[in-house]
A = this chain, B = another copy of it.
């Protein structure tokens, strides 16, 4: 379900999202049948379209502020927004494909992952193809601004993933490093999506920064909730492999909190579960953490970030766009998938 459906459909996002879908397919289209076949799998993985929706909404937010009215006719966006929205979605899907290789995940969006279906080799190369096409598409724009921002952001995303990988099975990982990792690997691209959407509509520096800040906080909250769901969620509801953080030795906020605040014997039990080779250790971690205050703590942190995201967009005029951005931020912490 596109995340825009959370909010009112009246804003007229649907045709832009359809144009993103169309451009996504057109940019990736290959004359080689086996490549085209592989690309066909990618479309099944497309999900909430959070990032392209934010590019579009932030463009509209700038427009709505200009006219200080809700007249949707004044919020028309051009081809540049469709290109930028497609680029950020392509970068995001590329990271999903490589993430699934790194995690050895078998399920994503209720379907088998590329690595599970077609092997790690094809999945590594498909991720490479997606990132290549993202930059290629971005270079079709008239200015280098977006290419520079996207390149800067993917540098940060890769550093985040490398940091996460570096700290695997390190039970001393602290909150500050965790927050740095999730900023880099998740929030930076969401922040950039908002920034690009605003910049491309000629927003003032102040408005660009406000919307970027909204995206950054929303992105951090989004990742914390993802990490909570990896522990407490139901695979049937969430639609992807769960317990992968435990299986891959990646500490997340609830676990970090637990290792710092739970009774000593409980901390030792968590470490021994994380270090064990038992197939059902993720289930044991779940049973250990659910009754603890650590899940609630992580959810509160996410809620506080959502509140900061909403505070950042108070520079926008009251109206439909601000309402939608607010609803999207709230949905981040309320979702169960």
Write the residues of chain A forming the contact surface with B, with a CB cutoff of 8 angstroms.
30, 32, 34-35, 38, 98, 101-102, 120-122, 124-129, 131-133, 135-144, 147-148, 150-152, 154-155, 157-159, 161-163, 165-166
Instruction: Name the residue of chain B whose CB is nearest to the CB of A126.
Output: B162
Assembly stoichiometry (copies): 2
A101 surroundings in chain B (CB, below 8 A) = 124
Could you tell me the distance between the alpha carbons of A11 and B147 in the complex, rounded to whole angstroms? 35
Taking a contact as CB atoms under 8 Å apart, the answer to whether B139 and A141 are in contact is no
A–B Cβ pairs within 8 angstroms, 16 of them: A30-B159, A32-B162, A98-B125, A122-B162, A126-B162, A127-B128, A128-B131, A128-B161, A129-B158, A132-B155, A132-B158, A135-B147, A136-B151, A136-B154, A136-B155, A141-B144
Could you tell me the distance between the alpha carbons of A290 and B141 in the complex, rounded to whole angstroms? 52
A138 surroundings in chain B (CB, below 8 A) = 147, 151
Taking a contact as CB atoms under 8 Å apart, the answer to whether A125 and B165 are in contact is yes
The contact of A139 among B128, B136, B140, B151, by CB within 8 Å, is B151
Which of A30, A124, A154 has the most B CB atoms < 10 Å from its CB? A124
Instruction: Name the residue of chain B whose CB is nearest to the CB of A168.
Output: B121
- Cβ of A282 to closest chain B Cβ, rounded Å: 19
A30 surroundings in chain B (CB, below 8 A) = 159
- Cβ of A42 to closest chain B Cβ, rounded Å: 13
A34 surroundings in chain B (CB, below 8 A) = 162-163, 166
Could you tell me the distance between the alpha carbons of A162 and B122 in the complex, rounded to whole angstroms? 7
Could you tell me the distance between the alpha carbons of A30 and B184 in the complex, rounded to whole angstroms? 13
Taking a contact as CB atoms under 8 Å apart, the answer to whether B32 and A163 are in contact is yes
Instruction: Given contacts A34-B162, A128-B154, A135-B135, list 5 more A-B pairs with CB under 8 A.
Output: A98-B128, A102-B125, A126-B162, A129-B158, A140-B144
- Cβ of A96 to closest chain B Cβ, rounded Å: 13
Could you tell me the distance between the alpha carbons of A141 and B157 in the complex, rounded to whole angstroms? 22
- Cβ of A181 to closest chain B Cβ, rounded Å: 11
Taking a contact as CB atoms under 8 Å apart, the answer to whether B129 and A162 are in contact is yes
A161 surroundings in chain B (CB, below 8 A) = 125, 128
- Cβ of A88 to closest chain B Cβ, rounded Å: 14
- Cβ of A138 to closest chain B Cβ, rounded Å: 8
Instruction: Name the residue of chain B whose CB is nearest to the CB of A146.
Output: B139
Which of A98, A127, A165 has the most B CB atoms < 10 Å from its CB? A165
Could you tell me the distance between the alpha carbons of A39 and B141 in the complex, rounded to whole angstroms? 31
A98 surroundings in chain B (CB, below 8 A) = 124-125, 128
- Cβ of A124 to closest chain B Cβ, rounded Å: 6
Taking a contact as CB atoms under 8 Å apart, the answer to whether A129 and B147 are in contact is no
A162 surroundings in chain B (CB, below 8 A) = 32, 34-35, 38, 122, 125-126, 129
Could you tell me the distance between the alpha carbons of A131 and B157 in the complex, rounded to whole angstroms? 12
For the complex of A and B, the 9 pairs showing the least CB-CB separation, nearest first, are: A136-B151, A139-B147, A132-B154, A129-B158, A34-B166, A139-B148, A135-B135, A135-B151, A102-B121
A35 surroundings in chain B (CB, below 8 A) = 159, 162-163
A144 surroundings in chain B (CB, below 8 A) = 139-144, 147
Could you tell me the distance between the alpha carbons of A131 and B34 in the complex, rounded to whole angstroms? 24
Instruction: Name the residue of chain B whose CB is nearest to the CB of A136.
Output: B151
Could you tell me the distance between the alpha carbons of A129 and B160 in the complex, rounded to whole angstroms? 10
